Chains A and B, each alone.
Chain A
Amino acid sequence: MALLDIKGLSLTLNGRRLLDGLNLTLESGKIVGLVGASGSGKSLTARSIIGLPPKAAALSGTILLNDTSLLTLSEKKLGHIRGRDIGIVFQDSAAAFDPLMTIGDHVAEPLRWHLGLDQKAARIEARRVLDRTEFPADIDAFARYPHEISGGQRQRAMIAAALALSPKLLLADEPTTALDVTTEASILNLFLKLAREEGIGILLVSHDLPAVATLADHIALIEEGKIIEASDTKNIDAKYSPRLRALLESAMAENAVLEMKQSEVILRGRHLSFSYQKKRALDDVSFELRSGECLGIVGQSGSGKSTLARLITGLAKPLAGQLEALQSLCQVQMVFQDPAGSLNPRWTLGQSIAEPLHAEALDSAAQSQRVTLALQEVGLDPNFAERYPHQVSGGQAQRAAIARAIISKPDIVVLDEPVSALDIGVRAQILDLLDGLRQQHGIAMVFITHDLGVARRVANHLLVMKDGKVVEQGPTGRVLVEPADAYTRSLVEASPSLSHKVFAPRGSEG
Chain B
Amino acid sequence: MIGLVATLAVASILVFFMLQILPGDPAQLILGTGARPDTLLALRHEMGLDQPLLTRFFQWVSGLLSGNLGMSHTYHVPVATLIAERLPVSLPLAIVSLVLAVLLGIPGGLIAAMNKDTWLDRAVRIKTQLLLAIPNFWLAMLLVFIFAITFHWLPAGGFSGWSNGWNAIRSLILPAFALAAPQAAILTRVTRGALLENLEDTYMIAARARGLSQNAAIFRHALPNAMIPVVSIMGLQFSFLLAGTIIIENVFYLPGLGRLIFQAVNQRDLAVVGGASMLLIASVIIVTFLVDLAALAIDPRLRRRS
Contact = CB atoms under 8 A, between A and B. Distances in A.
Interface of A: 47, 50, 52, 75-76, 79-84, 86-88, 90, 92, 95-101, 109-110, 113-114, 145, 147-148, 158, 161-162, 164
B300 A161 contact: no
B293 interface: no
Interface stretch (B31-39, B97-105, B205-213, B268-276): B205-213
B225 to A, nearest CB: 6
B212 A109 contact: yes
B300 A147 contact: yes
Given A79-B213, A80-B211, A113-B210, A98 B202 contact: no
B221 interface: yes
Interface in B193-239: 201-203, 205-213, 216, 220-221, 224-225
Given A88-B209, A110-B211, A100 B298 contact: yes
Contacts of A99: 203, 225, 299-301
A98 B209 contact: no
Given A101-B221, A109-B212, A96 B301 contact: no
Interface in B281-306: 298-301, 304
Given A96-B202, A148-B304, A83 B225 contact: no
A88 B206 contact: yes
Chain A CB within 10 A, most for which of B213, B216, B220, B300? B300
A505 to B, nearest CB: 36
Contacts of A90: 202, 205-206
Given A98-B207, A147-B301, 7 more contacts: A52-B205, A52-B208, A81-B211, A83-B211, A100-B221, A109-B210, A113-B210
A84 B224 contact: no
12 contacts: A79-B213, A84-B211, A87-B209, A90-B205, A96-B205, A97-B203, A97-B206, A109-B210, A113-B210, A147-B300, A162-B209, A164-B210
A73 to B, nearest CB: 13
A55 to B, nearest CB: 10
Contacts of B210: 82-83, 109-110, 113, 161-162, 164
Nearest to A109: B210
Nearest to A84: B211
Contacts of A100: 221, 224-225, 298-300
Nearest to B214: A75
A113 B201 contact: no
Interface string B62-80: 0000000000000000000
B117 to A, nearest CB: 10
B302 to A, nearest CB: 10
A162 B206 CA distance: 9
Nearest to A92: B202
Contacts of A164: 210
Contacts of A86: 209
Nearest to A145: B300
A82 B211 contact: yes
Contacts of A95: 201-203
A115 to B, nearest CB: 11
Chain B CB within 10 A, most for which of A81, A86, A101? A101
B299 to A, nearest CB: 7
Contacts of B216: 113
Chain B CB within 10 A, most for which of A79, A81, A92, A161? A79
Contact of B203 (A80, A83, A84, A98): A98
B209 A82 contact: yes
A82 B212 CA distance: 8
A162 B211 CA distance: 10
Contacts of A110: 210-211
Contacts of B203: 95-99
B271 to A, nearest CB: 48
Contacts of A145: 300-301
Nearest to A164: B210
A354 to B, nearest CB: 37
Chain A CB within 10 A, most for which of B207, B224, B225, B299? B207
A413 B211 CA distance: 50
A326 to B, nearest CB: 43
Given A95-B202, A113-B216, A82 B208 contact: yes
A125 to B, nearest CB: 14
Nearest to A148: B304
A109 B299 CA distance: 20
A259 B304 CA distance: 50
Nearest to B216: A113
Nearest to B204: A98
Nearest to A46: B209
Contacts of A114: 211
A98 B221 contact: yes
A90 B205 CA distance: 10
A158 B210 CA distance: 11
A80 B210 CA distance: 9
Interface string B152-164: 0000000000000
A158 B301 CA distance: 19
A109 B300 contact: no
A500 B211 CA distance: 41
Contacts of B206: 88, 90, 96-97, 158, 161
A96 B202 CA distance: 5
A79 B220 CA distance: 16
Contacts of B207: 98, 109
Contacts of A113: 210-212, 216
Contacts of B304: 147-148
Nearest to A86: B209
A100 to B, nearest CB: 5
A164 B207 CA distance: 13
Contacts of B202: 90, 92, 95-96
A158 B201 CA distance: 16
A95 B225 CA distance: 13
A270 B146 CA distance: 82
Interface in B86-134: none
A25 B201 CA distance: 30
A478 B211 CA distance: 52
B301 A52 contact: no
B195 to A, nearest CB: 14
Chain A CB within 10 A, most for which of B209, B212, B220, B221? B209
